A and B are shown apart, each in its own frame.
Chain A
Amino acid sequence: GENVEQHPSTLSVQEGDSAVIKCTYSDSASNYFPWYKQELGKRPQLIIDIRSNVGEKKDQRIAVTLNKTAKHFSLHITETQPEDSAVYFCAASPGRGGSEKLVFGKGMKLTVNP
């Protein structure tokens, strides 16, 4: 089955710096890659996603890139702010047989220091 790995597990940056979170996946049939932000004690919140027919997507300060050949995708946050501090999860949707489940990575804790 699909396996999603995420690294680093923690990242600390200064306010205004950029942050990059990388994920790899194992199933070449995976076709949908969302990113979720989860603040302490809160629900996972969908912040951006990308489909397998697109290489890059941007939404204000966040962008996601996908490399299907290498089977990895990344989240880029520019001009980080303290409110960006949270755990970020990447996920992949295997898509085989019409499956809609999401397979998540273990998460990366981002700390933005003022």
Chain B
Amino acid sequence: DTGVSQDPRHKITKRGQNVTFRCDPISEHNRLYWYRQTLGQGPEFLTYFQNEAQLEKSRLLSDRFSAERPKGSFSTLEIQRTEQGDSAMYLCASSSTGHEQFFGPGTRLTVL
């Protein structure tokens, strides 16, 4: 499968714990995006990278969230001190053009 992959697919954690998700984009895609989707809503933009550079972050993104893409390939999204409101599907997408964005299967986070 040469599409976007994400790991893990599901994560259950207790409130206050830290979690980290990984995204592997489509090969040769230099752009990588993180979105969050809650039930009954469309994906909501969190942040995006072009190569290693984090070029945009949503103003809604709490300081507890941090994302990296150290070598311009895979990316990680870390949430510190998780809260129940962080429960959502975290989607990653990649693109070579900045327009057509192809999504991964997502990581479903449940915070108890």
- Cross-chain contact B99 with A43 (CB below 8 angstroms): no
Q: Hey, which chain A residues are within 8 Å of B16, CB to CB? A: none
Q: Hey, which chain B residues are within 8 Å of A103, CB to CB? A: 45
| Chain A interfacial residues counted at CB < 8 A | 25
Smallest beta-carbon distance A43→chain B, Å: 4
The total of interchain contacts (Cβ-Cβ below 8 angstroms) comes to: 61
At the interface with chain B, which of A11-19, A73-81, A104-112? A104-112
A25 part of interface (Cβ distance < 8 Å): no
| Chain B interfacial residues counted at CB < 8 A | 25
The verdict on A42 contacting B45 (CB below 8 Å), with A93-B99, A99-B56, A101-B33 known, is: no
Question: For chain A, what secondary structure do more than half of its interface residues adopt (helix, strand, loop), or is it mixed?
Answer: strand
The verdict on A106 contacting B106 (CB below 8 Å), with A34-B101, A49-B99, A100-B48 known, is: no
B2 part of interface (Cβ distance < 8 Å): no
- Cross-chain contact B101 with A46 (CB below 8 angstroms): yes
For the complex of A and B, list the 7 residue pairs with the smallest distance between their C-beta atoms, beginning with the closest. Answer: A104-B42, A101-B45, A43-B103, A100-B98, A44-B103, A89-B42, A43-B105
